[in-house]
Amino acid sequence: MHIKEIIVVEGKDDTTAVKRAVNADTIETNGSAINKSTLKQIKHAQEKRGIIIFTDPDYPGQRIRSIIEEAVPGCKHAFLPRNEAINSKGLGIEHASPEAIQKALNHVYELTEKPEDIFTKEDLLEFGLVGNPNASDRRRKLGDKLSIGFTNAKQLEKRLNMFQVTRSDFTSAMEEIFREEQ
């Protein structure tokens, strides 16, 4: 599998894992200490070939993703579910199987300012994604099924809208989650 865009990862071990899974070039942020020089390199890469941000499914990974998106709008995003990025040695892209990495890179999202289906807090309430004892677990499962990553409720609403998740995909994923809970 060849990836045209340049994949932004956190470190060298992530690059090694990505290159085991796909034929791609990477830029490493060196963790959350992302500097102006790296952001400039990412901006140049975005202009030439496009960027896919592929950071660890944790708070530092989300922070890096936000810093890059703010400095270099229009990047694509790939998400790896936590359960596919963890082993006895830790959590991160470097611990994922080549198959998990390929799956994540096959479900790349591009942010948009004008979603077709607008999701609201009422949708999240209706499906028990907030204000429910199972809300956190449901958000994690939904993030995995839609390949948009785990989020808190506020971020989930934002991601559903920015990544243009369709009402149909959302409903199908939630129905599957409800069946699993039975």
pLDDT tens digits, one per residue of 120-175: 899 999 999 999 999 999 999 998 888 888 888 888 988 888 777 888 999 999 99
Q: Is residue 116 part of a domain?
A: no
For the chain, percent of residues with pLDDT exceeding 70: 96
0.75 surpassed by pTM: no
| 157 and 88 inside one domain | no
User: Which segment of 7-11, 84-88, 128-132 scores lowest on mean pLDDT?
Assistant: 84-88
| 81 and 29 inside one domain | yes
| 53 and 125 inside one domain | no
| 87 and 145 inside one domain | no
What distance in Å separates the CA atoms of residue 52 and residue 46, rounded to the nearest whole number? Answer: 9
For the chain, percent of residues with pLDDT exceeding 90: 58
Predicted pLDDT at 165: 86
| 142 and 85 inside one domain | no
Could you count the other beta carbons within 10 Å of the beta carbon of residue 82? 16
Of residues 147 and 20, the one with the higher pLDDT is: 20
Number of structural domains the chain divides into = 2
User: Per the structure block, which two tokens stand in for 111?
Assistant: 């942010």
Q: How far is CA 167 from CA 81, 158, 163, 173, in A?
A: 21, 14, 12, 10
Answer whether residue 113 shows pLDDT above 80: no
What distance in Å separates the CA atoms of residue 163 and residue 73, rounded to the nearest whole number? Answer: 14
| 87 and 164 inside one domain | no
Where in the sequence is the domain holding 152, given as residue range(s)? 121-181
Q: Is residue 115 part of a domain?
A: no
Predicted pLDDT at 166: 86
Predicted pLDDT at 48: 92
CB contact set of 9 (below 8 Å; sequence gap of 6+): 15, 18, 26, 27, 28, 29, 54, 55, 93
| 91 and 12 inside one domain | yes
Q: What is the mean pLDDT of residues 64-70?
A: 90
Pick the last residue of a domain from 51, 84, 110: 110
The radius of gyration of the chain from alpha carbons, rounded to an integer in Å, stands at: 16
CATH of the domain at 75: 3.40.1360.10
Query: Per DSSP, what are the bridge partners of residue 26?
Result: 7
Pick the last residue of a domain from 47, 76, 110: 110
DSSP letter for 8, please: E
Pick the last residue of a domain from 52, 85, 110: 110
**Sign of the torsion angle spanned by Cα atoms 149, 162, 35, 7:** positive
Mean pLDDT of the chain: 89
